[in-house]
Amino acid sequence: MGFYFKGGIIITGSLQIKRKKYFAIINIKDRFGKSKPKWVDTGILVTGNNKKKAEKKLREILCEYENKNIIFTKSIDFAEYISNWLELIKHTIEQTTFESYHQYVHKHIIPYFTAHKAILDKLSKQHLQMYYNFQFEHGRIDGKGGLSAKTLKNQHAIIGKALKDAMMDDLIVYNPNDRVKLPKKKPFIGKYYSVEQANQLIKASKDTDLYVAVILAVFCGLRRSELLGLKWASVNFEQKAVTIKDTVVRVKTIIEKERTKNKSSYRTMRLTDEITNILKNEKEKQRKNKLLFGDSYHDNDYIIKHADGTVYLPNSFTKIFQRIMKKANLPVIRLHDIRHTTASILINHGFNLKEVQEWLGHSDIGTTANIYGHLDSQSKNNIANGFGQLLTM
């Protein structure tokens, strides 16, 4: 049993065993004798000599309560709290970040915790663990299964930040989100086209508005945001090169950014004579479109856009891109898998991981190796054959 007294508030605590673990039962009595018990998971199993550890943990928890001098007010619904928290931080984060947070909070977090009537100061590790487990198995909005480990990691970060701020505001004593275990991320193996299939895709796009987009996607292995962010100012026709430096993203609204994903993503890529000429033809085509549409033309410097100059919405751009895949009688893959196609073609034709890393704009070669290491079979064959010839068996 522990005991603390401060400012007319009496705090006592004891240990209880529940589900083969030690829980600290914190009892707070104000000067009017009203009691407010709170169960806190110590995270310590009831095995061996763990009771002493649990007693030490109890004392630490009591000290936390005493030091924070928490004022207990009317309980706050966790769903209500995180909704208000999101609005408070709205102008302290980027718009794209806020919109991403908003989707997670209002489509997943609030509905679940509202249904479970979760209270902020009673939120435990178990509550959160059950939430992440549920999301992993059944979290998709369309009801077709669970969310990915990466998506859960994003949600975990949001909930963690919200509860960290709740601690700073003395609304809770500890952050239970720090004690949960997220499902492990499965090793990712992207889908990709062969050289023949990539050529089929280019051929099928030739009479469409996305002909240039398909060529640059396959040849340069660009991210969607990089592809849509390409501007004529970034093309050097004399040097036959394009610099990747601008991006276009969308959650609810289109956001133009004059920066790439990371420092390595900012890169200059050489173009072939044929691709340079295709870009020259596209620029001339856009000049004629501007005259044709007159005042209704949306004048801007983007390379990938509709005939009237409007910039593609990223999600609709993906759908149009995938329609071309169907037209080419190809398996429909993610737009990002075109980037994997570029990497696989390069690796399978003798380019090493370092070269592929720099071409794709990965921040370090470890990223390239983790994603594409399984494709580096040609260089391994060269090592095996070359080294084997040096040995006498």
CATH number for the domain spanning 315: value is 1.10.443.10
Whether residue 326 has pLDDT greater than 80: yes
Residue at a domain's end among 68, 95, 124 = 68
Nearest Cα neighbor of 275 from 214, 352, 194, 342 is: 214
Beta-bridge partner residues of 14:
25
> CATH number for the domain including 144?
1.10.150.130
* Chain position carrying tokens 């691709």: 275
Beta-bridge partner residues of 235:
242
Q: What is the mean pLDDT of the chain?
A: 83
Q: Return contacts of 184-187, CB within 8 angstroms, 24+ apart.
A: 184/149, 185/148, 185/149, 185/150, 185/153, 186/149
260-265: average pLDDT: 49
Same domain for 352 and 232: yes
* Chain position carrying tokens 């059950």: 130
Q: Is 308 among the domain residues?
A: yes
What local confidence, expressed as pLDDT, does residue 173 receive?
Answer: 84
Same domain for 146 and 22: no
Q: Is 185 among the domain residues?
A: no
Same domain for 209 and 61: no
Q: Is 393 among the domain residues?
A: no
Residue at a domain's end among 179, 205, 233 = 179
Whether residue 2 has pLDDT greater than 80: no
Of residues 348 and 83, more confidently modeled: 83
Same domain for 345 and 236: yes
For the full predicted model, state whether its pTM sits above 0.85: no
d(CA 174, CA 162): 12
What local confidence, expressed as pLDDT, does residue 68 receive?
Answer: 58
The least confident of 262-266, 267-271, 363-367 is 262-266
Same domain for 82 and 64: no
Same domain for 91 and 140: yes
Percentage with pLDDT > 90 across the chain:
44
Same domain for 319 and 223: yes
Q: Is 386 among the domain residues?
A: no
Same domain for 94 and 51: no
Whether 70 and 120 have beta carbons less than 8 Å apart is answered as no
Residue at a domain's end among 116, 150, 179 = 179
Range of the domain at 55: 2-68
**In sequence order, which residues have a C-beta less than 8 Å from that of residue 366 and are 6 or more positions away?**
none
What local confidence, expressed as pLDDT, does residue 110 receive?
Answer: 96
Structural tokens at position 382: 């060269």
Q: Is 389 among the domain residues?
A: no
Q: What are the phi and psi torsion angles at 302 (to 5°)?
A: -70, 145
Q: Which is it for the CA torsion 389, 390, 391, 393, positive or negative?
A: positive
Burial-class residue 184 by CB neighbours within 10 Å (0-12, 13-18, 19+). Answer: exposed
Domain count, the chain: 3
Same domain for 93 and 242: no
Same domain for 18 and 89: no
Same domain for 375 and 250: yes
**In sequence order, which residues have a C-beta less than 8 Å from that of residue 85 and are 6 or more positions away?**
162, 165, 166
Burial-class residue 30 by CB neighbours within 10 Å (0-12, 13-18, 19+). Answer: middle
Q: Is 387 among the domain residues?
A: no
d(CA 273, CA 119): 64
Whether residue 315 has pLDDT greater than 90: no
Q: Is 108 among the domain residues?
A: yes
Structural tokens at position 61: 């928890």
Same domain for 108 and 46: no
Of residues 196 and 262, more confidently modeled: 196
286-296: average pLDDT: 96
188-199: average pLDDT: 85
Whether residue 262 has pLDDT greater than 50: no
